[in-house]
Structure 1
Amino acid sequence: MKFSKKRVRNAVASAGAALMLSACGSYGVDPGADGDTGTVTYWLWESAQLPAYQQCAIDFQAQNPDIEIQIEQFGWDDYWNKLFTGFVANSAPDVFADHTQRYGEFAERGLIVPIDEQLAASDIDLDDYVEGTTELWIGPDGKRYGLPKDFDTVGLFYNEDMTTEAGITAEQMKNLTWNPQDGGTYEDVIAHLTVDENGVRGDEPGFDKTKVKTYGLGLGSSGAPFGQVEWSYLAMTTGWWYMDKESWGTKFNYDDPRFQETYSWWRGLIDKGYMPPLAFTEGGSPDQQMQAGRYAIVSEGSWNTANYGSLQGVNLQLAPTPIGPSGQRAAMQNSLADSISTSSQVKGAAWKWVQYLASEECQSVVAEAGVVMPAIASTVETSKASLGETGFDISAFTDQIEQGTTFPYPAVLQAAEIQSTMSSAMDNVMAFNADVDSLNAANDRLNSLFTDPDE
């Protein structure tokens, strides 16, 4: 969601988080109480979604007058730092918005509550949720730690005025192809949309890659371990996967030639002048760069649809990710959920709130807000209509779910260490301080996290 829905990017914060988790472990955790009434503290990181969930809290409290919901919202990095500190100090919120990448470690250390028993005693039907969202919340121990509250996928936002001027049709944008050898029609379009300060396009003689006015493809980051919006939609069409299992793997595949060919092609766009250098990302976020006319295309998550739709002075449209060597498209699908802290003194009330957050009643409110797509299938059409008011055809997102070309966000243990290791390694590669095959050593370091040193 989304990471944020944001993506994990801050290696320093992640490394610090790992130390905190190691310090708290599963020891000294107050099992709390199952109080059915009282005050439930609830944390989330996404400010754009805050009004919708505040309305859900108002509606919930009207039905449960003996429960008060206190919502606190923090920015992405502050959110996780405060949460880890709360775990250490035994002052974590009763309920918090959780992410697929993070919850495995929380579950393994006994910091969040499995909800299998509560779910079995409820009338919740998991078939009511969008396909692929409920499985994401089954932890490494086989227990369930959340109910999906939303879902997201990835697509291509593009400047329609620029594509029209370049003679590129909407139909072409909807049917782009890609391969790691020559980039397919995707690279052709990216090159043609790149324009230097003299008005020469990237695929024309005399193009000056040192003086680019508009980059054909925008860059937000190196993608860190998972490349949710940056490169995952490309790598997945080669048959590659992150690790030896779909979830909770212990052997990683960043040394696989299919991945390294994909990453090498992607980095090569910088060398050709079609995508900005990594240092360029410090000058503004992708949406800001797109509004300023510096980017023609940005690969981005569906959670940012409303944000891109609100940009002034720029005419944007939405296309699906390109068709790759597999003959199909690919897009990462993720879903956030809400977790209950083990230390909560009001677990009964917390479960009622979690149930409500995952209900059609609350998710309908979220759908009408038009900020993110809720996970209850019956609310999807409302969500489409609300998001459609942004002017985008969001079928670029939803069609891939219906066509079965999405893949799950990779759930991992040792997430903080993986984040730190791969952020550093990939930043070095994208900054041309290291070759792509340097990722072999980083991959070995990840594998060593799951190797018994006594073996």
Structure 2
Amino acid sequence: MRTRRTAASLAAALTAGTLALAGCAAPGAADDSVVVDYWLWDANQLPAYQRCADAFEEENPDLEVRISQYGWGDYWRKLTAGFVAGAGPDVFTDHLTQYPGFAQKGLLLDLNTLGATRDVDYGGFQEGLADLWVGQDGAQYGMPKDFDTVALFYDTKVLSDAGLGPADLEGLDWNPEDGGSFEKVLAHLSVDQNGVRGDEEGFDPKNVAVYGMASNGSGGTSGQTTWSWLAGATGWKFTDADVWGTEYHFDDPRVQSSLKWLFGLVDKGFMAPYEEVGTEPNPQQALGSGRAVISANGSWMLGTYANLDGVDLGIASLPSGPVGHPVSMYNGLADSISAQSPNPEEAARWVEFLGSDDCQRLVGEAGVVFPARPAGTAAAIDAFADRGLDVSVFTDLVEKKQTLFFPVTEQFGAIDSMMTPIMDEIYIGDRDVSTLTEVNDRINGLLK
């Protein structure tokens, strides 16, 4: 999982707590080696990072890496509690929605000030990833670990039953006025309870058996897998700068028309209504159960979709938008060092290794995510290929620079807590997209 509504509650907890900069890691193991506590949330990546830890400890016998993995929700709650109590990890997997608040409160160390990470060549990562983690003060608050983009997942058997093949999903175009050839495909793939398809006379949009498009909810502020790839394909951007923007652009007609088209699919019967998916949609389950045919989702979900029982998985590129090509959100996680760590230099040695070709190759070989270094990315491509998955639709977006950066701004938690229910209302049909103009003024007021 890459985004959730934890940002606001996390910020509130950190603000309310007394953040004493006390020691947070275990003082050392019995053999006098220094213990570096490392936290992550993705259980699928735990084995790969344990292999990294084993390799690191062989090269650094004076250090021991202790890895703890928690589910997404528990992760941020425990991290918040750890910061408040001064008992959190030395190093932890960080997210772009969280680190601005952490940095503002002095909870992260600048990697440029530590011996092992001071001279890292950040130009050796996939383009732009390291820049996302540079604070307004010029500090490097994260070591890039992986990246993700978005594509279309589908079941080739269901596609074939509809008289279509993988080639029919290539080269699709989309626009917010009539949906282009992409909407025509979604219409054909939608089937009502009487077996009538969405592009046939008599289709009943109120009684749908199969939706052409799987819902992934309203998307909140970022719309990472829901609407950002649509709005981005019109040339729209979240803010006035790729990193540390000071003005959001939700008043732009391009994003508003994109949202109107997407949620308009509900009335047409091509996507499930909000009442069916609720606040915790499960698009992969919808695809696996045959309730939906096409699911837009992130590259970190490759393993989940590939493991769906009875699904002959296919992956297609996002449709090209008015800009002439597809556009995907480009997000990247990083490893950060807590300012509360009693062993910052030792923690920096671990972080430097995490960002190295050696570790990132090990992570790539696990075939779960795309590591941030090209060597790790190449290893992941090979690992997925060994499983019969061509993942070039994800990596081509980065190589061709057909991407939209995740918004990195101050006050993201407060903004997300405001935007999420508003976006839900738009999905439900209780709010017009034009009201985002007034909402945008309120959002930008938080940044002044």
- Aligned twin of 1:367: 364
Instruction: Say whether the 8 Å CA contact 2:151–2:299 is kept in structure 1.
Output: yes
- Aligned twin of 2:313: 316
CA deviation after TM superposition for structure 1 residue 351, in Å = 0.5
- Aligned twin of 1:188: 184
Instruction: Say whether the 8 Å CA contact 1:425–1:438 is kept in structure 2.
Output: no
- Aligned twin of 2:167: 171
Flag structure 2 segments of 5+ consecutive residues without an equivalent: none
Candidates 21, 29, 34, aligned match of 2:21: 29
CA deviation after TM superposition for structure 1 residue 128, in Å = 2.4
CA shift digits 1:399-450 (9 cap, x unpaired): 1111111122111211211111111110111111212122233222211212
- Aligned twin of 2:288: 291
1:192-203 equivalences in 2 (<5 Å):
192-203=188-199
Instruction: Say whether the 8 Å CA contact 2:117–2:351 is kept in structure 1.
Output: no
Instruction: Say whether the 8 Å CA contact 1:112–1:342 is kept in structure 2.
Output: yes
CA deviation after TM superposition for structure 1 residue 119, in Å = 6.9
- Aligned twin of 2:228: 232
- Aligned twin of 1:110: 106
CA deviation after TM superposition for structure 1 residue 322, in Å = 0.8
Structure 2 CA distance, aligned partners of 1:71 and 1:55? 11
1:322-337 equivalences in 2 (<5 Å):
322-337=319-334
Further displaced range: 110-119 or 211-220: 110-119
Letter matched to residue 215 of structure 2: L
Identical-residue share of aligned pairs (%):
43
Structure 1 CA distance, aligned partners of 2:353 and 2:149? 24
Instruction: Say whether the 8 Å CA contact 2:24–2:87 is kept in structure 1.
Output: no
- Please report the TM-score for the alignment, with normalisation by the length of structure 2: 0.94
Structure 2 CA distance, aligned partners of 1:206 and 1:439? 35
Candidates 11, 14, 22, aligned match of 1:18: 11
Letter matched to residue 289 of structure 2: A
- Please report the TM-score for the alignment, with normalisation by the length of structure 1: 0.93
CA shift digits 1:279-322 (9 cap, x unpaired): 22248611111110011000000111111111110112001111
1:338 corresponds to 2:335: yes
RMSD: 2.0
CA deviation after TM superposition for structure 1 residue 337, in Å = 0.8
CA deviation after TM superposition for structure 1 residue 166, in Å = 2.1
Flag structure 1 segments of 5+ consecutive residues without an equivalent: none
Q: Tell me: CA distance 1:307–1:256, structure 2 relative to 1, closer, same or farther (3 Å).
A: same
Instruction: Say whether the 8 Å CA contact 1:364–1:382 is kept in structure 2.
Output: yes
Structure 1 CA distance, aligned partners of 2:359 and 2:148? 18
Instruction: Say whether the 8 Å CA contact 1:20–1:84 is kept in structure 2.
Output: yes
- Aligned twin of 2:400: 403
Further displaced range: 207-216 or 119-128: 119-128
- Aligned twin of 2:88: 92
Structure 2 CA distance, aligned partners of 1:166 and 1:156? 17
Other structure's SS at 1:367 match: helix
Q: Tell me: CA distance 1:389–1:215, structure 2 relative to 1, closer, same or farther (3 Å).
A: farther
Structure 2 CA distance, aligned partners of 1:405 and 1:160? 26
- Aligned twin of 2:130: 134
